């Protein structure tokens, strides 16, 4: 009996099975190529640890700058909302006065209607789009009594002022809408920057995180060294000023005259803070120290968390001094002094865009709310390098 089995294709069998050495070599080559294809882009495209660190630092700085823009937009929105509410209340009150003036004119029209006098003129006046144009007609004006004329004038005044306030309210509402849009944009920008930074950090291996921590530690050591140098310079400067004062006192006692001291550099040298300012600075620093350990939260002003400018504002508020909300405004809230002459309580600003601020405590150190994921802490003002310092301001 003939077999019902289907004949096997000999060509495939020869290529796939009858040459095992060739098949194995081919599979091995494919596997190696596959591994190479998978590995090569990863090795080439993966940024170095230093690049990741720089990118993350940049993102945090950008987030800090965006936070200040958010704070500014939030403050502007609050002020604009208050203005809109005041304008709307004003419009409501003026509308009420306008209605009262209209009712008074209506009573005159009703009286004229009952007596049959001047009905067409009064009715036409009440229905006119522009009453003032109609008043220019001598026929009507000659028929109005002094009391009626006062009522008409009051109506026209109330109508004009009410329309003006309504226009102002409409414009303010548009400005408020723009401020709210700016607020949303700034908030979205902050969130995007922080999400990108977190994503980059999450992709690091345990070994890379350890290396990154070592790099950060090295930066902190360098920042501490720079702070110690500044502390030494400031100590030497205080000694120099003390010697100058003593010399001036001796000269004064010898000559019987009086006079001040000069640095002799041709520039104005900021005087040392007076006792009153020093007391306020101590209160600000005491408040700031009490906040150490609390988390940084962008847009926060306390009491449970702070962003950088929220902390400095709250600290000086505790000392009875009102600072503006944002770094952009705080930098103009006092006298600029050289870094070498910074005193406890001074504000230290960072970066060209004024994206960060801290409270100087002396010896090259400050208290600040650093960045998302960190906590209020003491740190060298050189924590991000000497070039990051923008200015030092002594609050008025």
Active site members:
308, 356, 368
Tokens of 288: 């700031």
Instruction: Give helix then strand counts, H and E, for the chain.
Output: 11, 6
Distances (CA, A) of 51 to 44, 47, 200, 248, 330: 13, 6, 11, 55, 33
Could you give the CA distance from residue 169 to residue 4 in angstroms, rounded to a whole number?
95
Residues 359/367, Cβ–Cβ less than 8 Å: yes
Q: Angle at which helices 49-115 and 119-127 pack, to 10 degrees?
A: 170
Residues 373/326, Cβ–Cβ less than 8 Å: no
Distances (CA, A) of 378 to 160, 206, 289, 375: 60, 27, 8, 10
Determine the distance from the C-alpha atom of residue 354 to the mean position of all C-alpha atoms in its chain, rounded to a whole number. Answer: 10
Nearest to 321 by CA among 312, 332, 308: 312
Report cis status (omega within 30 of 0) of the bond before 216.
no
Q: What is the DSSP letter of 379?
A: E
Residues 356/349, Cβ–Cβ less than 8 Å: yes
Q: List all residues 6 or more positions away from 166 whose beta carbon is below 8 Å from its beta carbon.
A: 91
Nearest to 240 by CA among 257, 206, 264: 264
Quickly tell me which residue has 């009391």 as its tokens: 147
Residues 247/259, Cβ–Cβ less than 8 Å: no
Listed in sequence order, the DSSP H helices in 298-351 are: 308-318, 327-330
Determine the distance from the C-alpha atom of residue 208 to the mean position of all C-alpha atoms in its chain, rounded to a whole number. Answer: 33
Cα Rg of the chain (Å, integer): 38
* Coil, strand or helix at 292: coil
């Amino acid at each position: 009996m003939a077999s019902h089995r289907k004949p096997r294709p000999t060509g495939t069998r020869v290529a796939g099975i009858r040459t095992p050495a060739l098949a194995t070599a081919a599979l091995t080559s494919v596997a190696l190529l596959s591994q190479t294809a998978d590995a090569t882009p990863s090795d080439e495209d993966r940024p170095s640890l230093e690049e990741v660190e720089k990118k993350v630092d940049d993102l945090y700085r950008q987030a800090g700058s965006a936070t200040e823009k958010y704070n500014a937009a939030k403050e502007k929105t609050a002020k604009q909302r208050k203005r809109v509410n005041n304008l709307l209340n004003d419009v409501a009150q003026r509308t009420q006065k306008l209605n009262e003036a209209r009712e008074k004119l209506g009573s005159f029209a009703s009286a004229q209607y009952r007596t049959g006098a001047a009905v067409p003129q009064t009715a036409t006046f009440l229905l006119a789009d522009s009453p003032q144009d109609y008043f220019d007609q001598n026929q009507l004006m000659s028929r109005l009594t002094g009391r009626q004329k006062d009522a008409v004038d009051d109506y026209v005044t109330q109508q004009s002022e009410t329309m003006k306030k309504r226009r102002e309210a409409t414009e303010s509402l548009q400005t408020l809408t723009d401020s709210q849009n700016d607020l949303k944009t700034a908030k979205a920008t902050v969130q995007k920057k922080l999400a990108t930074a977190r994503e980059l950090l999450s992709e690091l291996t345990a070994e890379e995180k350890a290396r990154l921590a070592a790099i950060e530690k090295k930066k902190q050591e360098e920042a501490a060294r720079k702070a110690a140098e500044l502390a030494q310079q400031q100590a030497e400067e205080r000694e120099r000023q003390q010697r100058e004062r003593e010399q001036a006192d001796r000269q004064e006692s010898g000559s019987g005259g009086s006079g001040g001291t000069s640095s002799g550099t041709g520039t104005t040298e900021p005087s040392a803070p007076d006792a009153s300012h020093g007391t306020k600075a101590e209160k600000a620093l005491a408040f700031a120290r009490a906040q150490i350990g609390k988390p940084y939260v962008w847009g926060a002003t306390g009491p449970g968390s702070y962003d950088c400018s929220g902390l400095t504002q709250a600290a000086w508020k505790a000392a009875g001094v009102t600072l503006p909300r944002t770094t952009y405004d705080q930098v103009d809230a006092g006298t600029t002094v050289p870094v070498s002459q910074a005193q406890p309580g001074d504000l230290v600003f960072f970066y060209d865009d004024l994206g960060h601020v801290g409270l100087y405590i002396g010896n090259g150190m400050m208290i600040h709310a650093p960045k998302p994921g960190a906590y209020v802490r003491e740190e060298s003002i050189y924590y991000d390098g000497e070039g990051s310092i923008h200015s030092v301001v002594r609050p008025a």
